[in-house]
Structure 1
Amino acid sequence: MAVTPSSSQFRETFWVFGPAALLIIFTFWFAYQFVEPAPPKSIRITTGGENGGYHTFGKRYAEVLKKSGVELVVETSAGSVENIKRLSDPQSGYSVGLLQGGISNAKSAPDLVSLGRVFLEPLWVFYKSNETVDRLAQLSGKRIAVGPNGSGTRELATALLEANQISAGSATLLPITGKSAVHALKAGDADAIFLVLSPQAPLIKELLKSQDMKLMNFTQAEAYTRLFPYLSKVKLPQGVIDLVTTIPSRDVNLLAASAGLIARKDMHPALAGLLAQAALETHGGGGLFHQANEFPNPVDPEFPISGDAARIYKSGPPFLQRYLPFWLASFIERMVIMALPIATVLLPLIKIVPWLYRWRVRKRMFHWYAQLKSLERDIANDAQKAEAEFHKAEIERIDEAVSQIPIPLGFTDQFYELRSAIALVRQRIIGRLLPGSEQIAAAE
């Protein structure tokens, strides 16, 4: 009788391999819970005024990310105060922004992380007076341009003035900055102005070269760095602006806030790493107030550092991203995360499932071997052949049942060994039923 696949054999295969397949599917689902989706192809950054340094750096980041196929949409803002509001709002659509030190921290904005401090923002205090001003306390009762409401300059200026017991009640705080503040100072409508600008800014060079304007030398700079951890003491060296005319004419101590690249915690980790690489490329060089490779700085006094950014600063780009395009490397990294738990389950299954399948097939044949052995014992105990016809019916029943066993082709040799054993027992039973078999048995 030919052995062909049947519905029984299909059920046998299903009961063995089905649970294994379900286990693999469950493992795949479980691993997927720990895999980030593909990084978005576009994110938004909130910077500052269109002509300011924040916006300029944002455009540089966009150029770096563009090489990896990611669009960084650079948006202007009123400054750091608006930036922190945008980033704190999960519905705003902003993932990252530049933030002046001292504006916020992890306590007031727990959903944000730092991708590092990226550059220093020196605070310039210019004044117009015959006397030397080297302490902010000397500005009590003066007209001071501290910047418009919502600007990072105003936040920093008011914090420093309040530390010197100067407020709107003891001085006139003018909500102007930039060219408007400079014009007010020149016109005599302001006694001092606070500016947070790059030393390369044309406005700063203009003021430093002016004979009528004086730059405040912070003699208490060290004290401010202790009271305000986000501030640093920096020195503007003599002649660094103009060596020929020696501008400035002496070393000047300044205060500088370190600007941070701040992101939402839910931003895709691959993009956090990519932005950290952009910060390295943009800010890795030296400047007037810092040495090469001093920035980006993975130490932030106000926000926790993103683990993905910290790994970039410590070890550089991930291995795959050094040799493959960003999107391909990101895809492979995600697949590896999924493959590890699947492989952990699949490798043992490769050994266990075939063994289990063989065991189930052999167990079914062993059952009928046991039936056959029991029948032989009954025959041996039936010396008077009283149950010979029953034994004949029993062997036919066993033979019929065995012929219905779903046997894979790989087990046909064992299957036919069982059929041969059945045939041998049948032959013995038929022999006992033949006339004269008693004499033959006695002679034997």
Structure 2
Amino acid sequence: MAIAKAAGDLNPHKYTGLFAVQDLVFEPLFKYGHEGNIEPGLATEWSVEEGGKLLNVTLREGVTFHDGTPFDATALKWNLERWIGMEANNWMNSSRLFAGLDIVDARHVRIRFREPVLGLLQEFTYVRPVRFLSPRSVAEDGSYRQPVGTGPWRQVSATNEASVFERYEEYWGEKPAFPKLEVRVLPDSRGRMAALRAGDIDLIGGAFASPITATEAQTLSAAGVHVVIDPGTTLDLIRMVGISDPSARLRQYPHELSGGLRQRVMIAIAVAAEPKLLIADEPTTALDVTVQAQILKLLKEIQAKLEMAMVLTTHDMGVVASAADRVVVMYAGRNVETGPVEKVLVSPRHPYTMGLIDAIPSRSDPIGSPFRGLPGMPPVLSAPIPGCAFEPRCPHAVPACRTQRPELERTADAAIFAACPVLNTSCKERIG
């Protein structure tokens, strides 16, 4: 099997390893079936009671980890205590609202929550922490050491070039047809296709492993390679971004979807390969205020789930205030001010930043008061700008601003940098 990048750290309680490879080794209590059905995994029966505040689980009998450790209620409790209820995982409803766990016997547990948990069963199917690691596979201090799960494959070796797995003969479910699986890293799409044609690998594809385009799929099919189209992973992505009835949505054309739904689909496409950095360019443009808030909330949730960095490009200061940690204010392609959001937006140090913030309507404004905007026009970027690009529009400019380009320098507040030569003199008051 070919993958686009190394499998990485397969710790099931972290988010750094390749999802598709991790799922060869580890399993959840419940599995996400086609059409969104919740199917048995390591749990054979379950019930949600007390209005969603209690989850009763019956564990599958006879399941063992790869090292022979039984998977029972004690092992489940040990795994849950490694992540559930911890502040770092409070982006998950089940973790944030966790109240306690009771072991009834070796195969029955009761998981209690302070409030009803929205999407409880879904979180216990596909979110990473809910997969189970052998308690005997960790170091003495409890730190993760090696991937030992209950899945159909047991890892034999792992390098940056390939990971090798062998069939786990004691697996409780249907065993793989092959005794050995090599997951080879082939970063280039053309290299993966060539290796497939040459018989060096048997499988490529899958959104989380080594995705291929529709054109590549057609090329392979024309060359006599069997191509299977399975929307399963796509459905999971569509569900992850909060689109209802994903099976029906997949059969619709873009023009049949609302602006908010189209934006969610774009987010699903962007995070399909689990990027380390997501660049969102005007993600809320042309959306109404309610949908804007939903999209921003979704982006922050996905950012926490995938532990990725995110760069938001926007003209909306409200978006900056609600979604960012640090802000870089740019004018005419130049960085004019940067620092923590809570400081820059409250105490801006550059005249352009001040003008942007002062243009926002205030509750104290009289009814019918005129719009406050910046005077003048933006500069023509095709012409050289020897000095400060904002000088023609700045009421605090001095002659030097016209000829000398200001450097980005530390301000009186050490956390904020601004490019304004009159920073600590004429720019003490907001533009009024």
Q: TM-score, normalised by structure 1?
A: 0.24
More contact order relative to length (CA 8 Å, sep ≥ 6): 1
Higher strand share: 2
Greater Rg by CA: 1
Structure number with the higher helix fraction is: 1
TM-score of the superposition, structure 2-length normalised? 0.25
